[in-house]
């Protein structure tokens, strides 16, 4: 059984060895650049972990795992245009380094490459894999749209928020695992269980992200603490603060949200103080733990000895108690 680190290496090597097309360079240079500016390759590792769980050779799942990673990078590339983000992993984004047209078209090509990789999988499993992948891909687009819609809405409920992150972030983890399980020969019921594990882990992961943005250790977090607060991002924390705050406090939050000129540190401190008073961190952690438990419960139901699941449990633990 290969460790998570060994599987990560396998993915990195496969990505480097892969002969992606080269010309026209104006189309493919941005793709090569973007695929190699880093990232932990967590999602493709999930695919391999799932295949390994069902005792099938991980090598057969490498193209599908790379399809998952390529798809993920496609979404990042296009999201960066939509968010007008100048940086990704500390490096220039594609639309910034080249231009928007290049970023649109390279993103399109990256999505098509994902399907090419997927098509290299065992033909016997192809219809199932393709259906799983397509459903996920569509939901990720819907999640991105909802995320953009929420920017212009002051009335996002907790359940609407969870629905959005389920689509935008979590179904990709679920599908990465399910595709690995299909290729591993898992039964439909085990495929569903591992998907449920992935989706719930994904929601808990995103909630952890929301918490870290405010409560992360500045020395370990790697990003500016309070970035979401500065940008008025509708996180789980903000949505619940707006829901729970007495009207005077809610007014205070709105005041900060509407200021166009402000001292960022002051805004972060003020909103964090409100979160503290309302017990928002504890509430977010409780919700996160609820989804984490649902994830572990689904994994538990897969009828295999617990030691075989150790890698996946480790993976989820790392994701959910991380500090950056």
Residues contributing to the site for its own copies (CB under 8 A): 21, 23-24, 26-27, 78, 81-82, 100-101, 104-105, 107-109, 111-113, 115-116, 119, 123, 126-127, 130-131, 134, 137-138, 141-142, 144-146, 148-149
Radius of gyration of the chain measured on its C-alpha atoms: 20
C-alpha neighbours within 13 Å on the C-beta side of residue 76: 21
Q: Shortest gap between Cβ of 194 and its own copies (angstroms)? A: 21
Cβ closest to its own copies, residue 64 vs residue 312:
64
Element (DSSP H or E) covering residue 92: strand 91-92
**CA-CA distance, 132 to 60, in Å (whole number)?**
18
The DSSP secondary-structure symbol of 169 reads I
For residue 26, the tally of other CB atoms under 10 A from its CB is: 11
Q: Shortest gap between Cβ of 82 and its own copies (angstroms)? A: 4
Cβ closest to its own copies, residue 103 vs residue 241:
103
Cβ closest to its own copies, residue 129 vs residue 295:
129
**CA-CA distance, 308 to 310, in Å (whole number)?**
6
Number of residues that this document lists for the chain: 324
**CA-CA distance, 284 to 6, in Å (whole number)?**
33
Q: Shortest gap between Cβ of 266 and its own copies (angstroms)? A: 31
Q: Shortest gap between Cβ of 115 and its own copies (angstroms)? A: 5
Q: Shortest gap between Cβ of 104 and its own copies (angstroms)? A: 6
Using CA atoms of 137, 139, 144, 145 in order, give the dihedral in degrees to the nearest 10. Answer: 120
Q: Shortest gap between Cβ of 52 and its own copies (angstroms)? A: 25
Strand partners, 243: none
Cβ closest to its own copies, residue 174 vs residue 226:
174
Cβ closest to its own copies, residue 112 vs residue 259:
112
For 88, phi then psi, to 5°, come to -140, 125
Cβ closest to its own copies, residue 1 vs residue 112:
112
Using CA atoms of 26, 32, 37, 39 in order, give the dihedral in degrees to the nearest 10. Answer: 130
Cβ closest to its own copies, residue 77 vs residue 173:
77
Q: Shortest gap between Cβ of 107 and its own copies (angstroms)? A: 8
Q: Please choose, from the candidates 245, 237, 172, 239, the residue with its C-alpha nearest in 3D space to the C-alpha of residue 209.
A: 237
């Amino acid at each position: 059984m290969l460790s998570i680190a060994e599987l990560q290496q396998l993915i990195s090597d496969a990505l480097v060895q892969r002969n992606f097309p080269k010309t026209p360079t104006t189309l493919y240079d941005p793709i090569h650049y973007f695929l190699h500016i880093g990232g932990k390759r967590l999602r493709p590792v999930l695919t391999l972990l799932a295949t390994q769980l069902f005792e099938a050779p991980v090598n057969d799942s490498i193209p599908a795992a790379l399809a998952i990673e390529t798809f993920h990078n496609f979404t990042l590339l296009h999201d960066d245009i939509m968010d007008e983000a100048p940086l990704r992993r500390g490096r220039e984004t594609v639309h910034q380094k080249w231009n928007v047209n290049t970023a649109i078209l390279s993103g399109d090509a990256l999505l098509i490459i994902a399907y090419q990789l997927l098509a290299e999988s065992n033909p016997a499993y192809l219809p199932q894999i393709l259906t799983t992948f397509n459903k996920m891909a569509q939901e990720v687009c819907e999640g991105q749209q909802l995320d953009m819609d929420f920017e212009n809405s002051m009335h996002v409920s907790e359940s609407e928020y969870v629905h959005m992150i389920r689509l935008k972030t979590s179904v990709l983890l679920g599908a990465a695992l399910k595709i690995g399980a299909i290729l591993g020969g898992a039964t439909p019921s085990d495929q569903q269980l591992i998907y449920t594990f992935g989706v719930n882990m994904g929601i808990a992961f995103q909630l952890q992200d929301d918490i870290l943005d405010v409560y992360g250790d500045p020395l370990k977090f790697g990003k500016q603490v309070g970035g979401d607060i500065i940008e008025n991002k509708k996180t789980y924390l903000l949505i619940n603060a707006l829901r729970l705050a007495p009207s005077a406090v809610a007014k205070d939050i709105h005041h900060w949200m509407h200021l166009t000129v402000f001292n960022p540190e002051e805004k972060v401190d003020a909103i964090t103080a409100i979160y503290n008073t309302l017990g928002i961190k504890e509430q977010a952690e409780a919700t996160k733990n609820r989804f984490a438990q649902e994830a572990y419960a689904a994994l538990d139901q897969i009828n295999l000895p617990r030691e075989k699941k150790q890698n996946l449990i480790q993976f989820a633990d790392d994701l959910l108690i991380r500090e950056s």
